[in-house]
Amino acid sequence: MAAGGATDEEIREALQIGKGTFNKWRSQTVEFRSAIKEWDEFADDRVERSLYELAIGFHIDTEKTTVKRDAGCRIRETTTVRERQFIPPNFPAVSRWLANRRRKKWQ
Protein backbone atom coordinates (compact mmCIF):
# COMPACT_ATOMS: atom_id res chain seq x y z
CA MET A 1 0.00 0.00 0.00
CA ALA A 2 2.85 2.38 0.79
CA ALA A 3 4.33 1.71 -2.65
CA GLY A 4 1.05 2.85 -4.14
CA GLY A 5 1.26 6.10 -2.20
CA ALA A 6 -1.07 5.17 0.66
CA THR A 7 -0.80 7.31 3.77
CA ASP A 8 -0.17 5.89 7.24
CA GLU A 9 -3.86 6.49 7.98
CA GLU A 10 -4.96 4.50 4.92
CA ILE A 11 -2.63 1.65 5.88
CA ARG A 12 -3.98 1.68 9.46
CA GLU A 13 -7.55 1.53 8.15
CA ALA A 14 -6.72 -1.39 5.85
CA LEU A 15 -5.04 -3.25 8.71
CA GLN A 16 -7.89 -2.24 11.02
CA ILE A 17 -5.54 -0.96 13.72
CA GLY A 18 -5.32 2.28 15.64
CA LYS A 19 -2.68 4.98 15.42
CA GLY A 20 -1.06 3.83 18.67
CA THR A 21 -0.72 0.24 17.46
CA PHE A 22 0.66 1.38 14.11
CA ASN A 23 3.25 3.63 15.78
CA LYS A 24 4.15 0.85 18.24
CA TRP A 25 4.70 -1.61 15.39
CA ARG A 26 6.79 0.93 13.55
CA SER A 27 8.96 1.73 16.58
CA GLN A 28 9.35 -1.85 17.83
CA THR A 29 9.42 -3.94 14.65
CA VAL A 30 12.45 -3.42 12.43
CA GLU A 31 10.92 -5.32 9.51
CA PHE A 32 7.70 -3.28 9.61
CA ARG A 33 9.55 0.04 9.87
CA SER A 34 11.94 -0.93 7.07
CA ALA A 35 9.14 -2.04 4.78
CA ILE A 36 7.18 1.18 5.29
CA LYS A 37 10.29 3.31 4.74
CA GLU A 38 11.38 1.36 1.64
CA TRP A 39 7.97 1.58 0.00
CA ASP A 40 7.55 5.24 0.96
CA GLU A 41 10.85 5.99 -0.80
CA PHE A 42 9.71 4.02 -3.84
CA ALA A 43 6.48 6.05 -4.04
CA ASP A 44 8.38 9.32 -3.51
CA ASP A 45 10.77 8.40 -6.33
CA ARG A 46 7.82 7.80 -8.67
CA VAL A 47 6.25 11.15 -7.77
CA GLU A 48 9.59 12.91 -8.21
CA ARG A 49 9.97 11.37 -11.66
CA SER A 50 6.41 12.39 -12.56
CA LEU A 51 7.03 15.97 -11.44
CA TYR A 52 10.20 16.04 -13.53
CA GLU A 53 8.31 14.78 -16.59
CA LEU A 54 5.57 17.38 -16.04
CA ALA A 55 8.24 20.08 -15.81
CA ILE A 56 9.96 19.17 -19.09
CA GLY A 57 7.02 17.76 -21.05
CA PHE A 58 6.69 14.19 -22.28
CA HIS A 59 5.23 11.99 -25.01
CA ILE A 60 2.41 9.50 -24.67
CA ASP A 61 1.19 6.94 -27.15
CA THR A 62 -2.55 7.12 -27.79
CA GLU A 63 -4.96 4.97 -29.71
CA LYS A 64 -8.27 6.17 -31.14
CA THR A 65 -10.86 3.80 -32.57
CA THR A 66 -13.58 4.97 -34.94
CA VAL A 67 -16.58 2.79 -35.71
CA LYS A 68 -18.69 3.33 -38.85
CA ARG A 69 -22.15 1.81 -38.83
CA ASP A 70 -24.66 1.17 -41.58
CA ALA A 71 -28.30 2.31 -41.51
CA GLY A 72 -29.22 -0.74 -39.43
CA CYS A 73 -26.61 0.21 -36.79
CA ARG A 74 -24.44 -2.78 -37.71
CA ILE A 75 -20.71 -2.18 -37.62
CA ARG A 76 -19.47 -1.62 -41.15
CA GLU A 77 -15.89 -0.58 -40.51
CA THR A 78 -13.58 -0.12 -37.54
CA THR A 79 -10.46 2.02 -37.81
CA THR A 80 -7.79 2.34 -35.15
CA VAL A 81 -5.25 5.13 -35.36
CA ARG A 82 -2.16 5.18 -33.19
CA GLU A 83 -0.34 8.43 -32.59
CA ARG A 84 2.34 9.89 -30.38
CA GLN A 85 1.18 12.97 -28.52
CA PHE A 86 3.39 15.53 -26.79
CA ILE A 87 2.24 16.79 -23.41
CA PRO A 88 3.81 20.24 -22.99
CA PRO A 89 5.60 21.37 -19.84
CA ASN A 90 3.34 22.34 -16.95
CA PHE A 91 4.26 25.77 -15.52
CA PRO A 92 3.38 25.02 -11.86
CA ALA A 93 5.53 21.86 -12.05
CA VAL A 94 8.42 23.84 -13.54
CA SER A 95 8.08 26.51 -10.86
CA ARG A 96 7.93 23.98 -8.03
CA TRP A 97 10.89 22.02 -9.36
CA LEU A 98 13.09 25.09 -9.71
CA ALA A 99 12.02 26.62 -6.38
CA ASN A 100 13.06 23.40 -4.63
CA ARG A 101 16.12 22.45 -6.62
CA ARG A 102 17.56 25.93 -7.30
CA ARG A 103 16.25 27.87 -4.30
CA LYS A 104 18.69 30.76 -4.32
CA LYS A 105 18.09 31.49 -7.96
CA TRP A 106 14.32 30.83 -8.24
CA GLN A 107 12.73 31.83 -4.92
Domain ranges of the chain: 8-106
pLDDT value, residue 57:
94
User: What is the model's pLDDT at position 89?
Assistant: 94
Look at residue 45 in the predicted model and tell me its pLDDT: 86
Of 41, 19, 39, the closest CA to residue 31 belongs to 39
Q: With a threshold of 0.75, does the pTM exceed it?
A: no
Res 33: pLDDT: 87
Q: Pairing between strand 75-87 and 58-69?
A: antiparallel
pLDDT at position 71? 87
Digitized pLDDT (tens) for each residue of the chain, 107 residues in all: 877 778 888 999 999 999 999 999 989 999 888 888 888 888 888 888 998 999 999 999 999 999 999 888 888 889 999 999 999 999 988 888 888 888 888 77
Cα angle 33, 46, 96 (rounded to 5 degrees) comes to 110
